[in-house]
């Protein structure tokens, strides 16, 4: 069987001392692809290094996370854009998406920060459009607003990472051909379980969002790709399907969305 982790922060400082263990956990549990999502220029560079080091297993998504508007400057925004635009062919198919980008009001209590966060998001969307790359979106509390914003862009593919609310928006996202990811909360969150039931399997991918930690059967554990088989097993139960066909469909979704095939 083949499993995928479409959203993990391998370049996060928490993972740096244990990256070899994280990779070994993935291999041991038949997780054959991981997309290392970035948060700023430094983690974007690190994600690329990891994609090069673990070619065919790790793929890089580059961008600026909405929480980082609290600490980055206009200069770093521009530097990140230029860095991504000027990547050479050395990285080939290891650079697969712009991400993690989006909006989140929790990090923008001041008006100037809200405005800057929107500017950063729009610049990331322009970049995805210009480079003809998929975009991986953080949409906590802002899904409806983001869905409206996206209509102004000609984007290759869109993935709503860890989609939560509102469930009423899901049919519109599916109609547009967007994908969503869900992860460990599918084992204990009623809201996430209902989302999984509502979305066609063909529009679904799996994630851990590590190093974020979880409750339920994962409480007190370091988040690793080893959680993914349990996530897929639970999705299969919710969909009334067997594990093998569920894992295969999600794997095929990954290939279709990112246009890469893991080694």
- Domains of the chain plus CATH, in order, are 3-258 (3.20.20.140)
- Please determine, for residue 30, whether its predicted confidence score (pLDDT) is greater than 80: yes
pLDDT at 70: 85
High-pLDDT (> 90) share of the chain, %: 90
pLDDT at 90 over 80: no
DSSP code, position 106: G
Per residue in 176-226, pLDDT tens?
999 999 999 999 999 999 999 999 999 999 999 999 999 999 999 999 999
- Cis peptide before 179, with omega less than 30 degrees from 0? no
Q: With 70 as the cut, is the pLDDT of residue 108 above it?
A: no
**How confident is the model over 37-55, as a mean pLDDT?**
97
- Selected residue with higher pLDDT from 189 and 109: 189
Phi, psi dihedrals of residue 102, rounded to the nearest 5°: 155, -155
User: For 45-49, 104-108, 205-209, 248-252, which range has the lowest pLDDT when averaged over its residues?
Assistant: 104-108
pLDDT exceeds cutoff 90 at 111: no
Lowest-pLDDT choice from 90-104, 136-150, 193-207: 90-104
Judged on CB neighbours under 10 Å (0-12, 13-18, 19+), 151 is exposed
In this predicted structure, what is the pLDDT of residue 136? 98
How far apart, in whole angstroms, are the C-alpha atoms of residue 204 and residue 252?
A: 10
pTM: 0.96
* Alpha carbons 148 and 228: distance in angstroms, whole number: 31
Mean pLDDT, the chain, rounded, equals 95
Please report where in the chains the tokens 């970049």 appear, as a residue: 127
For residue 45, the model assigns a pLDDT of 96
Contacts 24+ apart (CB under 8 A), 77-80: 77/119, 77/120, 77/123, 79/41, 80/40, 80/41, 80/44
Q: How far apart are CA 10 and CA 52, in angstroms?
A: 13
110 or 209, greater pLDDT:
209
Q: Which residue intervals of the chain are DSSP H helices?
A: 19-28, 41-53, 74-85, 111-131, 143-150, 170-175, 190-198, 228-239, 243-258
């Amino acid at each position: 069987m083949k499993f995928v982790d479409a959203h993990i922060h391998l370049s996060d400082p928490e993972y740096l001392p244990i990256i070899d263990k994280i990779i070994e956990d993935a291999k041991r549990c038949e997780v054959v692809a991981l997309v290392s999502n970035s948060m700023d220029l430094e983690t974007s560079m690190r994600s690329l290094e990891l994609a090069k080091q673990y070619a065919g297993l790790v793929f890089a998504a580059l961008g600026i996370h909405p929480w980082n508007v609290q600490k980055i400057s206009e200069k770093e925004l521009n530097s990140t854009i230029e860095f991504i635009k000027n990547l050479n062919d050395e990285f080939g198919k290891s650079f697969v998406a712009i991400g993690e980008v989006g909006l989140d009001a929790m990090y923008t209590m001041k008006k100037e920060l809200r405005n800057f966060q929107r500017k950063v998001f729009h610049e990331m969307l322009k970049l995805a459009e210009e480079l003809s790359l998929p975009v991986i979106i953080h949409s906590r509390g802002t899904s409806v607003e983001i869905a409206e914003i996206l209509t102004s862009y000609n984007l290759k593919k869109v993935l709503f990472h860890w989609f939560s609310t509102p469930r009423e928006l899901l049919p519109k996202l599916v109609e547009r051909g967007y994908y969503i990811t869900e992860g460990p909360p599918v084992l204990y969150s009623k809201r996430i379980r209902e989302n999984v039931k509502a979305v066609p399997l063909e529009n679904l991918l799996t994630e851990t969002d590590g190093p974020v930690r979880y409750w339920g059967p994962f409480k007190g554990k370091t988040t690793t790709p080893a959680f993914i088989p349990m996530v897929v097993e639970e999705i299969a139960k919710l969909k009334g399907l067997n594990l093998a066909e569920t894992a295969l469909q999600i794997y095929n979704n990954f290939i279709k969305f990112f246009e890469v095939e893991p080694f």
